Amino acid sequence: MKASFKTGLSFGLTSGVITTLGLMVGLHSGTHSRTVVIGGILTIAIADAMSDALGMHVAEESKNNGVVSEIWESTITTFVAKFLIALTFVVPVLLLPLDVAMAVSVGWGLMLLGVLSYLLARAQQIPAWKVIVEHVVIGISVIAITHYVGGWIDSALG
């Protein structure tokens, strides 16, 4: 796989999982509203995917050594990966009771992070468990923090 696609895919997938789960968990703990959670997911899928893609584009341009077509490949791949990954989290929210959908979404997101981490570790020829643990712990940390922030906002302002 070309480096430009690998960069966009790995960034988009990671950001799609972490950002979407963080927002979903925070919104759920603060509102317990299916409509609000779906609205948040769709907002992330569009606005944050575009923001991340532009951030990737500017970061690649700032290196001053990239081929323009490769910069655009990373940009577009970042957007598509983030957009599609974020949208996958809508499915359980639409089909399952909200509390169950949240648990399924957390499992789905952590599995995606684990698989990506495993593939990255294999490509770098380093122990996979270290990379998997590092990335999954960060994901769990985001989930825990946003859960408590959402609950705090609900109790303070609700």
**pTM more than 0.95:** no
Mean pLDDT rounded to a whole number for the chain: 95
Enclosing domain of residue 129: 3-152
| Structural domain includes residue 157 | no
158 in any annotated domain: no
- Model confidence pLDDT, tens digit, residues 77-135: 999 999 999 999 999 999 999 999 999 999 999 999 999 999 999 999 999 999 999 99
For residue 43, tell me if it sits in a domain: yes
Residue 125 lies in a domain: yes
Q: Are residues 93 and 26 in contact, defined by beta-carbon separation less than 8 angstroms?
A: no
Query: Has residue 36 got a pLDDT over 90?
Result: yes
Residue 49 lies in a domain: yes
**From residue 46, how far is each of 3, 71, 74, 86, 104 by CA, in Å?**
24, 20, 17, 9, 22
Q: How many domains does the chain have?
A: 1
Angstrom distance (rounded) from CA 24 to CA 41? 7
Judge whether 26 lies within some domain. Answer: yes
Q: Is residue 107 part of a domain?
A: yes
